[in-house]
């Protein structure tokens, strides 16, 4: 029988050295909620398992310009942590709506990003908050905007010897909302999800983010729709236009959960709703 | 709102069950019956029926129902077990009591008709003081012999609701020798007309079950039937699947059973009892019917909310949005 | 495959067991330690029947690689009884018929235990939301909600 090696390093240098040794033959394990189903059903057969839960990467800090979130911070921590609730409420909301309590206790923010599911909940909120990720390898580290990280379903720019160590969420003002539609109410994957952030200057929209989940091969920033709002006075009409534009930028597929037709139709309503509800939200002030 | 008539047992007759009750050497009883339990509690109610028929506490009865070596109960299907199997159990209990009377009469040189069984006490009428034995003593005597004649005290019983009659090919008529249970279901829903999602806010279901042998089990079947029916109504799809045949679920996560959060904010249940002449103590089955009420009740509540009759299941959000679009197009044309 | 020693606290007692790197906690509990309370429903994290408490928090044992619990504390339904006495939740589930076939019950009990530890008096909506990851095909949700509320109300 083929040997599978298991590593649970406590030092980052150790972890990156192991990754450099095994390259794409190693599977990185954090909460296990995405990897274990694949292992259980023999969909992946790694030569080595690198458990990164003992690297001390489960923490949330408040820096001068950004929240720094360790890669193995669990979804449950994101949902309940006061700093996330205060400075990134859309992320807390996405965390709260993702999976069940038992999944939230295990699933990590780094895993949600690395798995690169088009339906990932946390990623949609993180994109609306202009988050970036820190990638570490034995030869160095780099910071990458999350918007530049995804290439396709379960495809990213992450190199086989790289590890996500931190997520940076810039502290910036704005009103945000995260909404999600599933096929049922409890424990459900997104049929369509949306995160929005509005930076307002009186009733003028200074800047906007509209991000869709499950509506394209990767979580999608709707840049043309955002542009429609930028510098404009926010009206119900404009919000309707922006929602229509956001959906025009999407390219959803049909699957077990919904058809592309439904995703577009309900997605438009969801974007409108998110924008309208964001206006009523308390403004985040860094 | 929906009204359900649920046939219990095979309406054309046939469809028997068999039971065996053995008196064990320690004065307890083993009920052998192949009534498979899927969680609905068949062994529990059959144990109750056996205890009543033998006039002994339920703790004295052990049920064995998990083996194909056991007497046939045809199947756990068609809500038939509660209607049919109790008859087989009662018949087995009567057969066992007859054997106990015969054995007891033989030991005491009396007539079997004069032997009285009062629960766990046996004696010859008119000669109680001299002849009285506990059932444990009877069981021990019959099993171990010694100063008594050994005997295998094993009662057998079979029953079916009349012989099988095929339906009349001309009229479709057939004799109704089973029973019908009656249910009413009431749903209150909220429909999101922009996303098509349906939220069942409150749900009530009342069933007339003849006699609730075990009211807790009846309650579980009513409320449990809601979950199965509501899943069928709103989220779960089997062949040809949703949205079309090539999207068969691959893993459990692709199949959308209702969760706690999909459960209504308020559930109301009710049990009505009108003893049925074909049932032991008037009992009849109903359980599968409790899953039949929710789909039409939810569909009619949706009609009440948005003015569209949906005639396919599951009523997914997409089905709702397409129905609303068709309605709009109809209004405009 | 090469086996390694895994040491952890299981239901209050330290256990050491040989495991292979790809075994899940559920595999080890059921097949190596004969702790069969946690059930294997889907092996996919969907059904909740395998839920155990890891350091007091509910997790899916089918999605937890066994070796990652080294030195940690695992509680299964077998650990709920204290000195032969059923836990209050177990009593309430039993008396109120909060299950039919019983397959989901060990998972339900562990999540309910964690809920009441965090929130001793949960509302119906809080129960529905916290328990949503545990499926019951028999549909005993109503009876489970009532059993949890009865324990919260001090009836057990």
Rounded to a whole number of angstroms, the distance from the CA of B220 to the nearest CA of chain C is 7
CATH 1.10.150.120 applies to domain C88-152: yes
3-state helix vs strand vs coil in chain C, percent to 5: 40, 20, 45
- What is the pLDDT, as a whole number, of residue A3? 86
Outline where DSSP puts E strands in B130-252.
133-134, 154-159, 179-191, 198-208
pLDDT digits (tens, 9 = 90+) for A91-127: 999 999 999 999 999 999 999 999 999 999 999 999 9
Q: How many CB pairs under 8 A join B and C?
A: 73
CA distances from B214 to A77, A234, B283 (A): 45, 62, 10
pLDDT of residue B251: 86
pLDDT band, very low/low/confident/very high, at B249 (cuts 50, 70, 90): confident
Q: Nearest 5 degrees, angle CA C49-CA C55-CA C57? A: 45
Domain ranges of chain B: 17-158, 179-332
Mean pLDDT rounded to a whole number for chain A: 96
CA atoms of C2 and C14, how far apart (whole Å): 22
Beta strands in B105-197 (DSSP E): 115-118, 121-124, 133-134, 154-159, 179-191
> Which token pair is C153?
């109300």
Instruction: Determine whether the interchain pair A102/C111 forms a contact, defined as Cβ–Cβ distance below 8 Å.
Output: yes
pLDDT band of B236, cuts 50, 70, 90: very high
Q: Which of A181, A186, A258 sits opposite B259 (nearest CB)?
A: A186
Could you tell me if C135 and C92 are in contact, meaning their C-beta atoms sit under 8 angstroms apart? no
| DSSP designation for A233 | B
Q: Which of C139, C140, C143, C146 to mutate to test the interface with B (most CBs of B within 10 A)?
A: C139
Nearest-by-Cβ selection for A266 from B196, B250, B258:
B196
**Comparing B17-158 with B179-332, is the CATH topology the same?**
yes
What is the torsional sign of CA B175, B178, B184, B189?
A: negative
Judged against a pLDDT cut of 90, whether residue B73 lies above it is answered with: no
- Beta-carbon pairs below 8 A across chains A and B: 63
β-bridge mates for residue A50, sequence order: A7, A28
Give residues with Cβ within 8 angstroms of C154, minimum separation 6.
none
pLDDT > 90? residue B172: no
CATH number at A175-279: 3.30.390.50
Average pLDDT over residues C11-20: 97
**Is it the case that residue B136 has pLDDT exceeding 80?**
yes
What's the mean pLDDT when you consider all of chain B?
A: 93
Nearest to A188, CA basis, from A209, A214, A210: A214
CATH 3.10.20.30 domain extents, chain C: 4-79
User: Would you state the pLDDT for residue B175?
Assistant: 74
User: What is the rounded distance in angstroms from the CA atom of residue C120 to the CA atom of residue C89?
Assistant: 12
β-bridge pairing B198-208 and B179-191 = antiparallel
State which residue of chain A sits closest to C51, comparing Cα positions: A102
Q: Give A29's contacts in chain C (Cβ within 8 Å).
A: 65, 68
Cβ contact, residue pair B260, A184, below 8 Å: no
pLDDT in tens, B94-117: 999 999 999 999 999 999 999 999
| Chain B residues inside the 8 Å CB shell of A254 | 243, 247
State which residue of chain B sits closest to C41, comparing Cα positions: B252
The phi and psi torsions of A155 (rounded to 5 degrees) equal -125, 130
Residue B275 near residue B210, CB atoms below 8 Å: yes
Q: Is the CB of residue C134 less than 8 Å away from at least one CB of chain A?
A: yes
Q: Which chains touch A (3 or more CB pairs under 8 A)?
A: B, C
Q: What is the pLDDT of residue B163?
A: 84
- Asked if B165 has any chain C CB less than 8 Å from its own CB, the reply is no
- Does domain A5-51 bear CATH number 3.30.43.10? yes
* A3 vs A34: CA distance, rounded Å: 22
Chain segment B272-329, per-residue pLDDT in tens: 999 999 999 999 999 999 999 999 999 999 999 999 999 999 999 999 999 999 999 9
Rg (alpha carbons) of chain C, rounded to whole number: 16
Q: Confidence class of residue B165 from pLDDT cuts 50, 70 and 90?
A: confident
Neighbours of B147 (CB within 10 A): 7
Assign B55 to helix, strand or coil: coil
Q: Indicate the domain borders of chain A.
A: 5-51, 61-170, 175-279
Q: Residue A171, preceding bond cis, omega within 30 degrees?
A: no
The CA-based angle C58-C63-C65, given to 5 degrees, is 105
Residue B161's pLDDT is 86
Q: Indicate if the pLDDT at residue A1 is higher than 60.
A: no
Across the interface, whether the CB atoms of A36 and C45 are under 8 A apart is answered yes
Identify whether B240 is preceded by a cis peptide bond (ω within 30 of 0): yes
The model's pLDDT over A51-79, given as tens digits with 9 standing for 90+, comes to 999 999 999 999 999 999 999 999 999 99
CB contact under 8 A, A99 and C133: yes
Q: What does the pLDDT read at residue A103?
A: 97
- Compute the distance between CA of residue A192 and CA of residue B186 in angstroms, rounded to an integer: 31
Distances (CA, A) of B299 to A186, B267, B269, B320: 21, 18, 19, 11
- The Cα of B305 is separated from the nearest Cα of chain C by a number of Å equal to 24
The label of the residue with tokens 């599951």 reads B314
Is the per-residue pLDDT at B214 higher than 90?
A: yes
Is a pLDDT exceeding 80 seen at residue C132? yes
Tell me which CATH homologous superfamily contains domain C4-79. Answer: Beta-grasp domain (3.10.20.30)
Q: Residues B28, B34, B37, B40: is their CA dihedral positive or negative? A: negative
Number of neighbours of residue B87 by Cβ within 10 angstroms: 21
**Cβ A76–C57 below 8 Å, yes or no?**
yes
Nearest residue in chain B measured CA to CA from A97 = B261
| pLDDT (mean) for C107-118 | 98
Task: Specify the pairing of strand B61-64 against strand C73-75.
Answer: unpaired
Class of domain B179-332: alpha beta
The interface residues of chain C toward chain B in range 37-66, judged by CB-CB distance below 8 A, are 41-42, 44-47
As assigned by CATH, the class of the B17-158 domain is: alpha beta
Rounded mean pLDDT of C30-40? 98
The counts of H helices and E strands in chain C are: 5, 5
User: Would you say A64 and A141 are in contact if contact means Cβ atoms under 8 Å apart?
Assistant: no
For domain A61-170, is the CATH number 3.90.79.10? Answer: no
Give the model's pLDDT for residue C105. Answer: 98
Interface predicted TM-score (ipTM): 0.96
Element (H, E) at A51: strand A48-51
In sign, the C-alpha dihedral spanning C127, C131, C135, C138 is negative
Does residue A26 sit at the C interface (CB-CB below 8 Å)? Answer: no
In terms of DSSP bridges, do strands B121-124 and B115-118 run parallel, antiparallel, or are they unpaired?
antiparallel
Going through chain B in order, the beta strands assigned E by DSSP cover 2-8, 17-23, 29-32, 61-64, 115-118, 121-124, 133-134, 154-159, 179-191, 198-208, 266-272
Q: End-to-end alpha-carbon separation of chain A, Å?
A: 55
- Which regions of chain C carry the CATH code 1.10.150.120? 88-152
**Helix orientation angle between A260-279 and B317-332, rounded to the nearest 10 degrees:** 90
Burial pattern A82-94, b for ≥16 Cβ within 10 A else e, equals: ebbbebbbbbbbb
Residue B82: in which H helix or E strand, if any? helix B81-108
A116 — alpha (psi -120 to 50), left (phi > 0) or beta?
left
Would you state the pLDDT for residue A74? Answer: 98
* Distance, C-alpha C113 to centroid of its chain: 8
Spatial separation of the C-alpha atoms in residues B128 and B238, rounded to whole Å: 65
CA dihedral B116, B118, B122, B124 (to 10 degrees): -30
pLDDT at A31: 97
* Beta pairing partners, B225: none
Chain A CB within 8 Å of residue B324 CB? no
Mean pLDDT calculated for residue range A171-179: 95
Question: Looking at beta carbons, which residues of chain C come within 8 Å of B37?
Answer: 101
C150 min Cα distance to partner chain A (Å): 22
């Amino acid at each position: 029988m083929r040997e599978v090696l298991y590593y649970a390093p406590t030092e980052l240098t150790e972890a990156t050295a192991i990754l450099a040794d095994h390259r794409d033959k190693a599977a990185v394990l954090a909460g296990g909620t995405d990897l274990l189903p694949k292992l259980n059903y023999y969909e992946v057969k790694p030569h080595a398992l690198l458990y990164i839960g003992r690297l001390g990467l489960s923490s949330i800090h408040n820096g001068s310009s950004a929240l720094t979130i360790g890669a193995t911070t669990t979804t449950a921590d994101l949902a309940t942590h006061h700093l996330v609730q205060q400075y990134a409420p859309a992320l807390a909301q996405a965390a709260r709506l993702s999976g069940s309590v038992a999944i939230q206790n295990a699933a990590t923010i780094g895993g949600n990003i690395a798995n690169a599911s088009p339906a990932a909940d946390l990623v949609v909120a993180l994109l609306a908050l202009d988050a970036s990720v820190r990638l570490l390898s034995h030869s160095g580290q780099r910071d990458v905007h999350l918007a530049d990280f995804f290439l396709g379903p379960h495809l990213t720019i992450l190199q086989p010897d790289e590890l996500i160590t931190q997520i940076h969420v810039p502290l910036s003002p704005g009103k945000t909302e995260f909404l999600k539609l599933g096929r049922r109410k409890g424990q459900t994957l997104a049929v369509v999800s949306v995160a929005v952030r509005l930076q307002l200057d009186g009733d003028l929209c200074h800047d906007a983010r509209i991000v869709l989940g499950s509506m394209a091969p990767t979580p999608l920033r709707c840049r043309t729709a955002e542009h429609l709002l930028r510098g404009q006075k926010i009206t119900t009409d404009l919000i309707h236009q922006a929602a229509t534009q956001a959906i025009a930028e999407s390219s959803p597929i049909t699957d077990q959960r919904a058809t592309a037709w439904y995703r577009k139709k309900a997605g438009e309503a969801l974007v409108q709703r998110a924008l309208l509800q964001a206006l009523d939200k308390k403004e985040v002030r860094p | 709102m929906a009204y359900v008539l649920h046939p219990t047992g095979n309406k054309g007759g046939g469809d028997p069950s068999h039971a065996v009750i053995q008196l064990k050497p320690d004065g307890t009883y083993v009920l052998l019956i192949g009534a498979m339990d899927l969680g609905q509690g068949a062994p529990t109610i059959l144990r109750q029926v056996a205890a009543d028929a033998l006039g002994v506490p339920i703790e004295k009865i052990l049920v064995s129902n998990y083996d194909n070596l056991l007497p046939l109960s045809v199947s756990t299907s068609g809500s038939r077990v509660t209607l049919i199997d109790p008859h087989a159990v009662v018949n087995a209990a009567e057969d066992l009591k007859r054997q106990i009377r015969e054995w007891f009469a033989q030991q005491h040189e009396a007539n079997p008709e004069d032997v009285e069984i009062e629960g766990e006490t046996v004696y010859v009428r008119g000669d109680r003081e001299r002849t009285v034995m506990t059932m444990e003593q009877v069981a021990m005597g019959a099993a171990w012999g010694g100063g008594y004649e050994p005997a295998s005290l094993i009662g057998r019983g079979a029953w079916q609701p009349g012989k099988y009659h095929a339906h009349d090919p001309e009229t479709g008529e057939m004799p109704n020798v089973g029973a019908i249970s009656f249910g009413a279901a009431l749903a209150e829903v909220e429909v999101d007309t922009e996303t098509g999602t349906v939220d069942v806010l409150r749900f009530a279901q009342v069933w007339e079950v003849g006699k609730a042998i075990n009211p807790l089990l009846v309650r579980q079947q009513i409320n449990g039937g809601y979950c199965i029916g509501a899943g069928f109504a709103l989220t779960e799809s089997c062949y040809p699947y949703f949205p079309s045949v090539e999207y068969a679920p691959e893993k459990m996560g692709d199949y959308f059973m209702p969760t706690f959060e999909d459960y209504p904010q308020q559930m109301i249940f009710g049990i009505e009892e009108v003893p049925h002449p074909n049932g032991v103590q008037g009992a009849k089955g109903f359980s599968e019917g409790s899953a039949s009420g929710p789909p039409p009740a939810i569909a009619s509540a949706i009609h009440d909310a948005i003015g569209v009759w949906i005639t396919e299941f599951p009523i997914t959000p997409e089905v709702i949005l397409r129905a609303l679009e068709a309605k709009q197009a109809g209004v405009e044309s | 495959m090469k086996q390694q020693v895994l040491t952890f606290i299981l239901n209050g007692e330290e256990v050491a067991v040989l495991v292979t790197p790809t075994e899940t906690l559920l595999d080890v509990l059921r097949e190596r330690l004969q702790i069969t309370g946690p059930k294997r429903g889907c092996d996919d994290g969907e059904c909740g029947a395998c839920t155990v408490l890891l350091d007091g928090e509910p997790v899916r044992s089918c999605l937890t690689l066994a070796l990652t619990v080294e030195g940690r504390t695992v509680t299964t339904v077998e650990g709920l009884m204290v000195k032969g006495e059923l836990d209050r939740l177990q009593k309430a589930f039993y008396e109120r018929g909060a299950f039919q076939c019983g397959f989901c019950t060990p998972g339900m009990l562990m999540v309910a235990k964690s809920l009441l530890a965090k929130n001793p008096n949960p509302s119906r909506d809080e129960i529905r939301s916290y328990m949503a990851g545990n499926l019951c095909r028999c549909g005993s949700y109503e009876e489970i909600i009532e059993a949890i509320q009865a324990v919260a109300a001090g009836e057990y």
